[in-house]
Every structure is written in C-alpha cells, then in structure tokens.
A and B are shown apart, each in its own frame.
Chain A
Amino acid sequence: EVVLTQSPGTLSLSPGERATLSCRASQTISASYLAWYQQKPGQAPRLLIYNASNRATGIPDRFSGSGSGTDFTLTISRLEPEDFAVYYCQQYGNSRFTFGPGTKVDLK
C-alpha cells in the first residue's frame, strides 16, 4: 500500500506570500494518479489539482501542481485570505485511494 507523507504539517504565512506544500509517496506512483484537495472548516473537500498538474474547473491560476515519481508539490503563488485551509494530497492505485495527512496553511 502506498503511504503519502505531507510536509510541513503546518505552514504559517501572510497574505501575498508564496506557499509550497510537499507530498511524498512511499513508492513511485503515476502522476496521473495524484490529486490535491482544499478543505475549509465545516466544509467538504474541494478538488484543486488532478493528474498532478491539471487545475480543476474554476480553480484560480495561482494554484499549480508539479512533480513525478515519489515527490509532488502544490504551490500557491500568492496567498489570498480565502486560501487559508488544510490541503490534502491523494493517490489512486490497485483500485484503492489513499490520502496524505494534510498540511494546514494558517495565518502568520
């Protein structure tokens, strides 16, 4: 089973700053099977990025994804007030889905 590790656990930043979130897999995975979600308190997760680098419908271009193999990155180029949330990476393999533990982006 693929285990996803996310770092850092918490990222404290100010609006306008750049956020770089990491997701590392315990074994090589296809970039086609890596996604990122945003979750705000009391809300369902929202798909941001699929296939490692494709923005989902309606997602602003300040969100970008990259990576391959075992290392993947979500970058928020300039944080907006509404971007403070928890971010999860997720992978698919062998008809199963696994999520990383999440990175919380909070206000510095």
Chain B
Amino acid sequence: EVVLLESGGGLVQPGGSLTLSCVASGLSFSSYAMSWVRQAPGKGLEWVSAISGRGGSTYYADSVKGRFTISRDNSKSTLFLQMDSLRAEDTAVYYCAKALVSVTTFDSWGQGTLVAVSS
C-alpha cells in the first residue's frame, strides 16, 4: 500500500518562507512523477507543481512560478516544496500526490498539511 505523509505546514507571515516534505512508502519512489496540489479553505483543487521520477524535469503553475521550488530525494523517498515570498492567497491545505505511470492522473494522495499565511 502506498502511503504519503506530508509535514512542514504552519502559520507564516506574508513574504515568509516554508518548506513542505512528503515521505513516501510502499512504492519504488524514483519510478513515479510526483506533484503538489493545494486546496484553499472551502475551495476546489489547484495543481501547484510536478517533478519527474528522477527529478530532472520540474513544472509549475503560473500562480507559483518563481516563488516555489519542487525537489525530491529519491534515496529518502521524500518530496519537497520550498515556498518563498508567501502570500495570503497561498493559504491552503497542500497535498502531495503520486502520478500513475502514465503521468496524467494522481492515484495516491497524502492527508495534506495546512499552510496559513497571515500577519
């Protein structure tokens, strides 16, 4: 069974930084692309960023490009999201999600970690 466990969320002031982590188990981690998807309170799902299995390719939503950095450590089966220059509109639950081999769909999700940006 694939298990994804996020951590690192919390309260941060506007302009601040935060790094999220997602530890994966039950899979050959380096074989799968991974993504971060967020959900603002009471709102829908928004894809944030994706990274290829070996980490050589990264992709970002326009809303976070230049501020967020996705990375992974395959030796530790861990996915990261470095978030800089945080804004109030970044407040959300952040989920890590594993892609199917086809890359196009997310078949496993973590339980999410809440990031609140407020002064």
How extensive is the interface on chain A, given as a class?
20 to 34
Q: In the complex, how many angstroms separate the beta carbon of A15 from the nearest chain B beta carbon?
A: 25
Does B47 lie at the interface of the complex (its beta carbon under 8 Å from any beta carbon of A)?
yes
Does A63 lie at the interface of the complex (its beta carbon under 8 Å from any beta carbon of B)?
no
Asked if residues A96 and B107 are in contact (CB atoms below 8 Å), the reply is no
The interface bits of chain B over 32-53 (1 if a CB of A lies within 8 angstroms of the residue's CB, else 0) are 0001010000001111001000
How extensive is the interface on chain B, given as a class?
20 to 34
In the complex, chain A residues whose CB is within 8 Å of the CB of B59? 95-96
In the complex, chain A residues whose CB is within 8 Å of the CB of B85? none
Binds A, one of B10-18, B71-79, B108-116: B108-116
Question: Which chain A residue lies CB-closest to B33?
Answer: A95
Does B88 lie at the interface of the complex (its beta carbon under 8 Å from any beta carbon of A)?
no
Interface residues of A (CB under 8 A from B): 32-33, 35, 37, 39, 44-47, 50-51, 56-57, 88, 90, 92, 95-102
Interface residues of B (CB under 8 A from A): 35, 37, 44-47, 50, 57, 59, 61, 95, 100, 102-107, 109-112
